[in-house]
Amino acid sequence: MLYASLRIAVRSFFSFFYRWKVEGVHHIPKEGPVVICANHISNLDPPLLGAAMDRRIHFMAKQELFRIPLFSMLIRVLGAFPVKRGSGDLQALKQALRLLQEEKVLGIFPEGTRSRDGKLGRAHTGAALIALRAGAPVVPAAIIGPYRLFRPVRIIFGQPIEVTSPAREKIGMKEAAALTDRIMNEIKQMIDQHR
């Protein structure tokens, strides 16, 4: 109930202040596990993605955000969970896989941090590794800014990348790196086509 109410409020916010344009929502599966991978240009990206979709999305969020008492409570209610950046956080990995096993939507920014200049940064392989382990499709998403008041911000969801879950012992860095490259190339193409 709270999530649905906040989504309506956030949609109104982006519609009025940022004239947002949303494309390709039909590419997001209506049910089943899915990983949404987007570029990261602003702190406004998570609410933008969440508001653009009809399904509830759960984000990995940097651990530091959970040290702010009221904000921590709010983002937990909205489905965020902490991840320690710069290290292999097994707890966050288990939580991500659990969400996908429950057929939920997981949101990850493969770059791991915001881009300072709006250009795509180097991506980490974590999102691809999670998708491979869960056998969950990946929907690439391009956020095209910058965020300027009363100027359009666009979000485009691409076609799902179907992922087969190989035997666990066969999932390695090579497979994760190949899927990461494919995801980031899809995002780059969408950005280039709509600039």
> Which pLDDT tens digit goes with each residue over 136-155?
999 999 999 999 999 999 99
pLDDT above 90: residue 106: yes
> Which pLDDT tens digit goes with each residue over 153-194?
999 999 999 987 665 556 777 888 999 999 999 999 999 988
The answer to whether residues 130 and 106 touch, using CB atoms and an 8 Å cutoff, is: yes
CATH: 3.30.460.80, 3.40.50.2300, 3.40.50.920, 3.40.1130.10. Which one for 2-193?
3.40.1130.10
Residue 157: phi and psi, rounded to 5, are -100, 125
pLDDT above 70: residue 113: yes
Q: pLDDT higher for 8 or 73?
A: 8
Length of the chain: 195
Burial 101-110 (b: 16+ CB within 10 A, else e): eeebbbbbbb
This prediction has a pTM of 0.90
Q: Which residue has the tokens 């035997």?
A: 167
State mean pLDDT over 20-41: 96
State mean pLDDT over 114-138: 90
Closest CA to 143 of 9, 16, 17, 21: 21
pLDDT more than 90, % of the chain: 57
pLDDT score recorded for residue 65: 73
> Which pLDDT tens digit goes with each residue over 44-72?
998 899 999 999 999 987 777 777 777 77
DSSP for residue 161: B
pLDDT score recorded for residue 189: 95
Cα-based torsion angle of the residue sequence 109, 111, 114, 116 in order, rounded to the nearest 10 degrees: -150
DSSP for residue 194: T
